[in-house]
Amino acid sequence: MSDQVAAADPRIVRTRRDVVETVSALLLEDGWEAVTHAAVATRSGYAKGTVYAHWPTRLDLVRAAIEQICDAAHHPAPTGDLHADLRAGLHDFATDLSERHLDRLLAGVIERTGQGEVVRSLRRRLYDTGTSGLRAILDAHIHPDDIAPVLTQLTGAVLVRVTFEGEPATDDFIDDLIHRALTSTRPHPQRGR
C-alpha cells in the first residue's frame, strides 16, 4: 500500500493518531524509558505488531511524539509591551517545564545527545519550539545580535530555577531576570524599543 493510500485510509490515520497520542502521554508522564513497543501497544489498545509496522524502533515512536508535541505547542500572544510579553513568555516556559513535563522531554534527548542526528534534531526542535515565542518577542524589540545571548540568559535561568533548584519562577524572579538580561541590549535598528 502506498503512503498516499495509507494516509487516506481512516483506520490508518486513526491508528497513527492514537499511538502517537499514547507515546506522547508516556513520554510526558514517565519519560523516555517508559516508551516501549509493548507499553505503547498495551496502553493504546493496538497490537504490538501494528505498532512495530508503523514505528520499527523506539526512536521512531519518540520522534513522532515529539513532533506532535511541538506541532501542538502554543505561546502567549504578544501585546507589544516588551517586559509584559517576556514575563508572560517566561511564565509559560516555566509552566511547560514544571507542569507540562518539558523537563522530561529535554532530559531524554540530552541524555542521548551522542546517539546520532535524529536525537540532535529532536533536541533542536524542542529548544526551537520552546523558545520561539520568546525569540519573536525579542526580535521585535532588540538588536538581532543580542537575541541569542539574551534568550540563553532568560531561558537558562528559568530552566535552572525550575528544574535544578526546584523553585517556582515567581514574578519577582522573572522581573529581576528580565531587567538584568535587557540592561546591556541595544534597540532593534528599525523598530526601536
CATH code (residue 49)? 1.10.357.10
- Tell me which of 33, 48, 69 is where a domain ends: 69
Q: What is the mean pLDDT of residues 31-36?
A: 90
Q: How far is CA 160 from the centre of its chain?
A: 16
- The answer to the question of residue 144 being in a domain is yes
Q: What is the mean pLDDT of residues 91-100?
A: 88
Give residue 103's pLDDT: 80
Instruction: Tell me the per-residue pLDDT of 147-189, one tens digit each, with 9 for 90 and over.
Output: 999 999 999 999 999 989 999 999 999 999 999 999 989 888 8
Range of the domain at 146: 76-182
Q: How does the average pLDDT of the chain come out, rounded?
A: 90
Domains in the chain, number: 2
Return the higher-pLDDT residue of 103 and 1. Answer: 103
What nine digits make up the cell of 128?
526551537
- The answer to the question of residue 168 being in a domain is yes
Long-range residue pairs from 180-186, CB within 8 A, at least 24 positions apart, any chain:
180/153, 181/150, 181/153, 181/154, 182/82, 182/142, 182/150, 184/146, 185/142, 185/143, 185/146, 185/150, 186/142, 186/143, 186/145, 186/146
Partners of 192 in beta bridges: 188
- The answer to the question of residue 187 being in a domain is no
Give residue 52's pLDDT: 95
Looking at the fold, whether 90 and 172 belong to one and the same domain comes out as yes
Global model pTM greater than 0.85: no
Give residue 192's pLDDT: 55
Give residue 179's pLDDT: 97
Looking at the fold, whether 174 and 102 belong to one and the same domain comes out as yes
Give residue 1's pLDDT: 47
Burial class for 142, CB neighbours closer than 10 Å (0-12, 13-18, 19+): buried
CA distances to 17, 19, 185 from 32, rounded to whole Å, are: 19, 15, 38
Give residue 6's pLDDT: 56
Looking at the fold, whether 105 and 176 belong to one and the same domain comes out as yes
Looking at the fold, whether 87 and 129 belong to one and the same domain comes out as yes
Give residue 4's pLDDT: 54
- The answer to the question of residue 14 being in a domain is yes
Return the higher-pLDDT residue of 192 and 30. Answer: 30
The rounded distance, in Å, linking the Cα atoms of 115 and 109 is: 9
CA triple 109-32-98, angle to 5 deg: 80
Looking at the fold, whether 43 and 86 belong to one and the same domain comes out as no
Looking at the fold, whether 65 and 81 belong to one and the same domain comes out as no
CATH code (residue 149)? 1.10.357
Give residue 175's pLDDT: 98
The rounded distance, in Å, linking the Cα atoms of 141 and 124 is: 24
Instruction: Tell me the per-residue pLDDT of 108-154, one tens digit each, with 9 for 90 and over.
Output: 888 887 778 988 898 889 889 989 999 999 999 999 999 999 999 99
Q: Is 137 helix (H, G, I), strand (E, B) or coil?
A: helix
